[in-house]
A = this chain, B = another copy of it.
């Protein structure tokens, strides 16, 4: 629907040189993957009565306040593996999941390194890479993003992470740092995300924005805000449609 407007942008100056992708929810289905990993753990450990969807939601919900403590300066820098682990420790207690050794807890914590891509992600990214530099730009740490790409078969031109800037999104340092490392102006960087707050912060930092609604991110019963918004330069329902709109 914003085809006309976006065409103006790329025809105007072929300004967009690189795409920066949010990852959790935008590229990969974290909730479905955590449910899969939870069920596997449950089978192995004989813990069968857990609603892993709610477990996944709680794990994810803990992430924002944990990051905000780092963002506000209240907590020292800690990467997402570390933040995920603190939240997991409290959830294991809350759900009375017992009898896991350190190796097993660490393996489960790294479920976030083994997230499955949305069905359009691999092909769409492959097409977009033919024409643009495609980088991650995630709050996930570098190791998590590298391992996930390997697991999921995603190919990136560059792994960029909040960890490199010691600032979490939506701090402007992340978006501006990505453009700087890629050697381009911020307005030559298109932030691609399923979350409006990420895009609004990217836009405030000087980037272009592409909104990819992912209605199933929080499960079939919790549809997030997927209303198109003319504030964003482009809206596309998946990565293939984004590639169509961007001539890739």
Give A residues with C-beta under 8 Å from B.
Answer: 81, 133, 135, 141-144, 146-147, 149-150, 155, 157-159, 163-164, 181-184
Instruction: Decide: A182 and B150 in contact? CB cutoff 8 A.
Output: no
Copies of this protein chain in the complex: 2
Could you write out 28 A-B pairs with CB less than 8 Å apart? A81-B183, A133-B146, A133-B147, A133-B150, A135-B146, A141-B181, A141-B183, A142-B158, A142-B181, A142-B182, A142-B183, A143-B181, A143-B182, A143-B183, A143-B184, A144-B183, A146-B157, A146-B158, A146-B182, A147-B183, A149-B157, A150-B157, A155-B155, A157-B159, A158-B159, A159-B159, A163-B181, A164-B164
- A142 / chain B contacts, CB cutoff of 8 Å: 158, 181-183
Cα distance A81–B149 in the bound complex, in angstroms: 29
Q: Which residues of B contact A147 (CB under 8 A)?
A: 133, 183
Q: How far is the CA of A147 from the CA of B157 in the complex (A)?
A: 9
CB-defined contacts of A184 to chain B, threshold 8 Å: 143
Closest to A183 in B: B143
A157 and B150 alpha carbons, distance in the complex (Å): 8
- Chain B residue nearest to A132 (CB atoms) is B150
CA of A135 to CA of B159, assembled, Å:
10
Besides A150-B157, A164-B164, 5 more A-B contacts (Cβ < 8 Å) are A133-B150, A135-B146, A142-B183, A157-B159, A158-B159
Collect the chain B residues with CB atoms within 8 Å of residue A143's CB. Answer: 181-184
Q: Closest chain B residue to A178 by CB distance?
A: B142
Would you give the shortest CB distance from A129 to chain B, in whole angstroms? 8
Enumerate chain B residues within 8 angstroms of A182, measured Cβ to Cβ.
Answer: 142-143, 146
B-chain residues with CB within 8 Å of residue A81 when the two chains form the complex: 183
Report B-chain residues with C-beta under 8 Å of the C-beta of A155. Answer: 155
> Across the interface, which residues of B come within 8 angstroms of A159, CB to CB?
157-159
Least CB distance from A18 to B in Å reads 8
